[in-house]
A = this chain, B = another copy of it.
Amino acid sequence: MKKSGKVKLGLIGLGTVGTGVVKVLKDFDNIEIVKIAVKNINKKRDIENLDTSLLTTDPFEIVNNPDVDIVVEVIGGIEPAFDLLKTAVQNKKHIVTANKELLAKKGQELFELANKNNVTILYEAAIAGGIPIIMPIKTTLAGNKINKIEAILNGTTNYILTKMEKEGVSYEEVLAEAQKLGYAETDPTGDVEGYDSAYKIATLATIALNQRVDINKIYREGITKISAKDMQFAKELGYKIKLIALARLTEDNKVDVRVHPMLVPIKDCLASISGVTNSVVLEGFPVGRVMFAGPGAGEFPTASSVLGDILAIAGSLGSDNMLPFMRCNHEINALQVDIKDTVNKYYISVTAANTPGVIGTIGEICGRHNISLASVLQKGIDRENTAEIVVITEESKENDINAAIAEFNDNKNIIKINSLIRVM
């Protein structure tokens, strides 16, 4: 703890998270907010007795303020956040941020600058909201070689998928409702196309696997093509469909990081994560498999993580010692695996002509491409005399699957490829 006086905070951003941070800091006498940067100084705020003299529209007043020990950034996005935090670090201020996009795209640059200036950047709130995950990896699990992360990192998509599964309704219907309730944004792209999850897994994988992951090399696929029928078929086969953020160390020490929907076996603990909850499962040695779950967003859960980081920095201010959990060194750039070179199980749903032997045709095409089938489900014949056929494959190469799908497309008895989803 600082040898004398209070720890002084400058807060950039007073939206949902910033408001939560101000509210929870009221109970901490030794921490003082000296300045808050906002867009609109006259906006009505949901904070009792807010001292409006603290507000400024110029965030540089904070990062250049010699009184400020810690800058808390909760505005999100790349600019002006990047410029502000660079300036703050150069001015020897410690940083607490919830900005997953900035960390994913500019983390390395910021961390190097922080190391050079002997300050720390903590960001527990940027990944999985209120769940303690970054600090446990850096402390209790510090001696582990983590080789796998399977996670649900986006509450909006998990809410949508859970609703689709429970109510048997379409993606579009649930999205519209989620937008009405404020669970999804007017432009939901960042969530439903998997960008948000990709930002988070980029940083989480970097920390856990101890190699810098390039956000631009992360394969990303959203949930917009998942149909109510996929949900139903998955259920019949013993699975749920989840948007999974995955990171895996391969045997040759490459890193396989991706975000895409997956069929998760009903008995897997991630299958039981419903609604806006987030969850992270880590596998490593010596620990084995550990799971963390909790609220992935929201005013107070996110403030909890910001607060934990503030207290960690506050506790070490005035020390001559840079603790291991405060360093941000990832000197190795990960060799990232291309999705085409991965091996997965697959769920394939096609509409086929109701011709004898069409399942045989599918099996034959798969067989020729080294794909074994684990289950086949044929669903009722409709008015057009077509049937829906769903298969789950054994582990197969993504390249082989693509080749088989191309042949399906050319086959006159296979009318339509409805879905191709990987299986956990």
Assembled-state Cα–Cα distance A305/B291 (Å): 15
Given contacts A134-B140, A144-B304, 12 further A-B contacts (CB under 8 A): A23-B286, A135-B135, A135-B139, A141-B308, A143-B304, A269-B272, A272-B272, A286-B301, A287-B300, A291-B291, A319-B319, A319-B321
Chain B residue at minimum C-beta to C-beta distance from A137: B132
Chain B residues near A23 (CB, 8 Å)? 286
* Contact residues in B for A300 (Cβ distance below 8 Å): 285-288
CB of A316 closer than 8 Å to a CB of B: yes
Cβ–Cβ < 8 Å partners of A308 in chain B: 139-143
Give A312 to B139 CA distance when docked, in angstroms.
6
Contacts of A143 in B (CB 8 A): 24, 28, 304, 307-308, 310-311
Contact of A142 among B134, B141, B311, B318 (CB under 8 A): B311
Residues from chain B with a CB closer than 8 A to the CB of A141 are: 132, 304, 308
For A139, list chain B residues within 8 Å (CB).
132, 135, 139, 308, 311-312, 325
Decide if B132 touches A290 in the complex (CB within 8 Å). yes
* 6 A-B pairs with least C-beta separation: A319-B321, A290-B294, A132-B140, A286-B300, A143-B307, A140-B308
Of residues 123 through 166 on chain A, the ones whose CB sits less than 8 Å from some CB of chain B are 124, 130-132, 134-136, 139-144
Q: Are B295 and A289 within 8 A (Cβ)?
A: yes
For this complex, 21 residue pairs linking A to B, each with C-beta atoms less than 8 Å apart, are A28-B143, A130-B287, A131-B290, A132-B139, A132-B290, A135-B136, A142-B308, A142-B311, A142-B312, A143-B310, A144-B307, A269-B272, A272-B272, A286-B301, A287-B295, A287-B304, A288-B300, A293-B293, A316-B321, A319-B320, A320-B321
Bound CA–CA A24/B144 (angstroms)? 9
| A130 and B311 form a contact (CB under 8 A) | no
Decide yes or no whether A47 CB sits under 8 A from chain B. no
Q: Which residues of B are found within 8 Å of A292, using beta-carbon distances? A: 290-292
Determine if A332 is an interface residue (Cβ-Cβ < 8 Å): no
Q: Is A181 an interface residue (CB 8 A)?
A: no
CA distance A286 to B299 in the complex (A): 9
Q: Would you give the shortest CB distance from A24 to chain B, in whole angstroms?
A: 5
Which of chain B's residues has its CB closest to A125's CB? B140
Contact B324 A321 (CB under 8 A): no
- The answer to whether A80 has its CB under 8 Å from any CB of chain B is no
Query: On chain A, which size bracket covers the interface?
Result: 35 or more
Q: Please, how many angstroms separate the alpha-carbon atoms of A85 and B253 in the complex?
A: 42
Decide if B320 touches A315 in the complex (CB within 8 Å).
no
| Chain B residues within an 8 Å CB radius of A77 | none
Question: Please, what's the 1-or-0 string for A152-193, where 1 marks a CB less than 8 Å from any CB in chain B?
Answer: 000000000000000000000000000000000000000000
Are A315 and B324 neighbours in the complex by a CB distance under 8 Å?
Answer: yes
B321 near A318 (CB under 8 angstroms)?
yes
Contact status A301-B316, CB under 8 Å: no
Q: Identify the closest chain B residue to A315 (Cβ).
A: B324
| Distance of A418 from chain B, by nearest CB (Å) | 31
Q: Are B311 and A316 in contact (CB under 8 A)?
A: no
Q: B290 near A303 (CB under 8 angstroms)?
A: no
On chain B, the residues within 8 Å of A136 by CB distance are 132, 135-136, 140
User: Digit string of A193-227 for contact with B (CB within 8 Å is 1, else 0)?
Assistant: 00000000000000000000000000000000000
